[in-house]
Structure 1
């Protein structure tokens, strides 16, 4: 083995002398090699991590890429309100009369306007056998069909009626009919049946009237026509008649279908 080493040494020649410069260069090259290996390892690790994350997203349900688009939050539906109780239908709970609207009312006479026989039948399906003395009749069809009839009585001598509250200078007489809801006949503006409502007499007829005092004739009356479902509705909100409840009922009872 010793002879072989001497032969190789003789073939290679003498070993060159090593200087400080050579040692510094070798050291620098070694540091650069170490840095390259570290950077290469980090890059490889990053690529591997991205590949793993991409594979994980690809296996998520519903798509291959996470959706980063801002979404509008869905509005949570509020629970529906409890069904409202059956509305009260006592006459006192009816809509307030037009006199509650701001504005002046026509003057109340010192002596109530008398009821006198109506010698000229009113036009249309409905007429009244009595009429306020000196008053006239407007015949109108405010609905979409002439099957629904209405007429209004007014004082032609009242000066400048437009200055007063709406409906406060007239009596309205209109056609009405009770609806059958399966448990009895129900008049308009009510939800209780006719049999359940408190009744009054309008002449010889049965009627219901909105709440008020005996001295208050500014009321609404539904007058039933015999045992039928037909009604005549009378609305009086004009103080210029000076009527009490009894006079209003007397007039309403005289109104009927021809």
Structure 2
């Protein structure tokens, strides 16, 4: 046996020397081959998993999402938007009519020869005007109201509503603990500033000399608590304040 091994060694020749570099290279090649095999195995496993998941997903029953039913879908109708109207002054209707026509000349005051109907009369009257009772004592809770207007006025609408009438009201001083007062005022009559109105002293919303005679005047024509209230709303009278005070000074309760 020993002789045979010796004969073979002699035939093969001397064994080549192995250096460290050859060993290192062989080791590196072996590690790279091992990594390639591992990566190939992971990729193959991922592909196989994907195929299995894909097949399973494709055979799931309709309406199932990962084992749970899909949420129900309903067709909902969107309600139409509701238009809201702003409730401020910009939404209020506007009066687009032209201002009332004011005559260039005042309607003159003339002597009244026919007493007014009702409990109050005046010794003067706008020329051509007539008086009528518009609120009786029963309707007014014990008070009466009269209106003066021009019966020949052909187009009262040009004066915007009730602005072509002169109103006379029956009222009275009432004492609620602070002294006798007249309606629309909280200050006692004796403390209110007065202006002359004929032979009477009057409380008024305007001042003598004002060109605007569309004002209110209150007179106390006797020693009783009775008051005559006069409201001039008539643009077509074209009165100034002095003319209104002169007319008010001619009014009184009938005896």
TM-score range, shorter chain: 0.5 to 0.7
Q: Which runs of 5+ in 1 are unaligned?
A: 1-100
In structure 2, stretches of 5+ residues that fail to align are: 1-94
Task: Name the structure 1 match of 2:61.
Answer: none
Specify whether residues 102 and 188 from structure 1 end up closer, same or farther in structure 2 by C-alpha distance, changes over 3 A only.
farther
Q: Which residue of 2 aligns with 1:235?
A: 231
> Distance between the aligned counterparts of 1:106 and 1:132, measured in 2?
19
Answer whether contact 1:172 1:234 (CA < 8 A) is retained: yes
Q: Is the 8 A contact 1:138 1:153 kept in 2?
A: yes
Q: Which residue number corresponds to residue 187 of structure 1?
A: 182
Q: 2:131 maps to which residue?
A: 137
For residue 229 of structure 1, report the CA deviation from its aligned partner.
1.3
Q: How many residues align?
A: 158
Alignment partner, residue 118 of structure 2: 124
**How has the CA–CA distance of structure 1 residues 197 and 133 changed in structure 2, closer, same or farther, with 3 Å as cutoff?**
same
SS at match of 1:206: strand
Q: Based on CA coordinates, which of the two structures has the bigger radius of gyration? A: 2
Shift of 1:144: 2.4
TM-superposed deviation, 1:163: 4.6
Per-residue deviation, 1:247:
0.5
Instruction: Return the alpha-carbon distance in structure 1 between the equivalents of residues 149 and 124 of structure 2.
Output: 14
Residue 95 of structure 1 aligns with which residue? none
> 2:200 and 2:145 mapped to 1: Cα distance?
20
- Taking the aligned partners of 1:103 and 1:198, their CA distance within structure 2 comes to 37
For the Cα contact (< 8 Å) 1:105–1:168, is it kept in 2? no
Q: With structure 1 as the length reference, what TM-score do the two structures score? A: 0.57
For residues 130-189 of structure 1, give each alpha carbon's deviation from its aligned partner in whole angstroms, at most 9, with x where no partner exists: 000011112122662573111100011211214532220000011010111222110000
> What is the RMSD of the two structures over their aligned residues, measured on CA atoms?
2.0
Map of 1:207 onto structure 2: 202
2:100–2:235 CA contact under 8 A, matched in 1: yes
The secondary structure found in structure 1 opposite 2:229 is: strand
CA distance in 1, matches of 2:120, 2:96: 32
Point out which structure has higher relative CO (alpha carbons under 8 A, 6+ apart): 1
Identify the residue that residue 196 of structure 1 maps to in structure 2. Answer: 191
CA 111–145 in structure 1, closer or farther in 2 if over 3 Å, else same: closer
